[in-house]
Amino acid sequence: MKKTLAKLADGRELIYFDTDESAARDAPDLRPLDRVRSHPELRRDEATGDWITIASHRQDRTYRPPAGACPLCPSRDGRLSEIPAADYEVAVFENRFPSLAGGAGRCEVVCFTPEHEARFADLTPAAARLVLDAWTDRTEELSALEGVEQVYCFENRGAEIGVTLAHPHGQIYAFPFATPRTAKMTAAAAAHRAATGRNLFEDLLSGARAATERVVTAGEHWTAFVPYAARWPYEVHLYPHRRVPDLTCLTEAERAEFPGIYLDLLRRFDRLFLLPGQEERAAPAPYISAWHQAPRTEGAELALHLELFTVRRTPDKLKFLAGTESGMEAFMNDVAPETAARQLREARS
């Protein structure tokens, strides 16, 4: 992998990742940009202890531009974007409208491909592996920043999720705190260790592999399964068989197997909602794909894993977070996890 560092016109960092060692990514950013002046504020909710980010400058962020004005496409034919190069494989840059900044974390955008109409599921295994390598690189670099407690790599896909840029991309947040969900996992893992003497996430994986009705697919190094108490209609967790805290600790064999399994999962999600006579691209599933990595402190019991879920529950119905979920964080699932796993198994190509 070749890594090329660059600067955007306003001083933000831009990084190109290439499989081609001869790739030249030296085009300058010619846009007349002012320096980014964002001052997100962290406030603690005294009722719950959760940290809330106040980032009012994000009200002015780019919102659903036409394809011809996409800021994530390469700069071509006189049109300048966030990517000065005329082409790229994977590009990562500091978000111009960050939720976290300065001494309170960092936000980055990850462009998976230069092709505007593509999906992550359209990538080749080699291209998906390059994205994994980029996630790993950024996890290592951002974890080393002063004040960063947890690095979160994720993708939001689909207007139903709230995506404002259609170009295939994800984000990376370097949080100055452990997120609320991670804090819950940490507490649950500690209680499980105290009660059983075992690691919670190793037991979750072994339990799922033993209860084969919830396994979607598995390889030599990874297993994808629907959790016993899934919150979302279609939710899959992908675990490496060997417990590690974050992406930087994966072996070459684990990295090599990941793209095939992950691309297969994404394609299964899209095939879930095909109606008779539809072509495969007719109903791409909106989804969130979230890497859970151990925080810097109090993370010894946590295991790296990816959680993939969709807000769609049928081809024409969405799972809305209404009164119980949004108001009380009490999830109600319309699809039995065993049924979801069976449907995903049957959705193979």
Domains, the chain? 2-175 (3.30.428.10), 180-346 (3.30.428.10)
Please answer whether residues 62 and 165 qualify as being in contact, where contact means their C-beta atoms are separated by less than 8 angstroms: yes
Instruction: Please say whether the beta carbons of 294 and 244 come within 8 A.
Output: no
- Residues 6 or more apart whose CB falls under 8 angstroms from that of 120 comprise 112, 128, 131, 155, 157, 168, 263, 266, 289
Region label for 307, one of left (φ > 0), alpha (ψ between -120 and 50) or beta (otherwise): beta
**In the prediction, which pLDDT does 279 show?**
59
Mean pLDDT score across all residues of the chain: 95
pLDDT tens sequence across 150-189: 999 999 999 999 999 999 999 999 999 999 999 999 999 9
Which residues lie below 8 Å from residue 327, measured CB to CB, with a gap of 6+? none
Task: Give residue-wise pLDDT tens across range 89-108.
Answer: 999 999 999 999 877 899 99
Q: What is the pLDDT of residues 206-224, one digit of tens each?
A: 999 998 999 999 999 999 9
**Tens of pLDDT, residues 53-81:** 999 888 888 888 998 999 999 999 999 99
Q: In this prediction, what percent of the chain has a pLDDT beyond 70?
A: 97
| Cα–Cα distance list, 142 to 134, 147, 163, 299 (Å) | 12, 10, 24, 16
Query: Which residues does 346 contact at the CB level (< 8 Å), separation at least 6?
Result: none
* Active-site hit among 167, 169, 221, 305: 169
Is the alpha carbon torsion for 148, 303, 219, 253 positive or negative?
Answer: positive
Token duo for residue 172? 């990376």
What pLDDT does residue 39 have? 83
| In the chain, % of residues over pLDDT 90 | 89
Return the H-helix or E-strand segment holding 338. helix 337-346
Rounded mean pLDDT of 26-47?
92
Whole-number Cα distances in Å, 87 to 76, 114, 118: 8, 7, 15
* Dihedral, CA of residue 310, residue 311, residue 317 and residue 323, to nearest 10: 160
Q: What is the DSSP letter of 74?
A: B
DSSP code at position 65: -
Q: What is the pLDDT of residues 250-298, one digit of tens each?
A: 999 999 999 999 999 999 999 998 866 665 555 689 999 999 999 999 9
- State which amino acid sits at residue 220: E
Characterize the bridge pairing of strands 13-18 and 2-7. Answer: antiparallel
pLDDT at 227: 98
Task: Report the C-alpha gap between 286 and 317 in whole angstroms.
Answer: 12
Annotation says 305 is catalytic? no
**Angle of helix 125-143 versus helix 252-272 axis, rounded to 10:** 120
- Residue 36 pLDDT: 83
* pTM of the complete model: 0.96
- Sequence length of the chain is 349
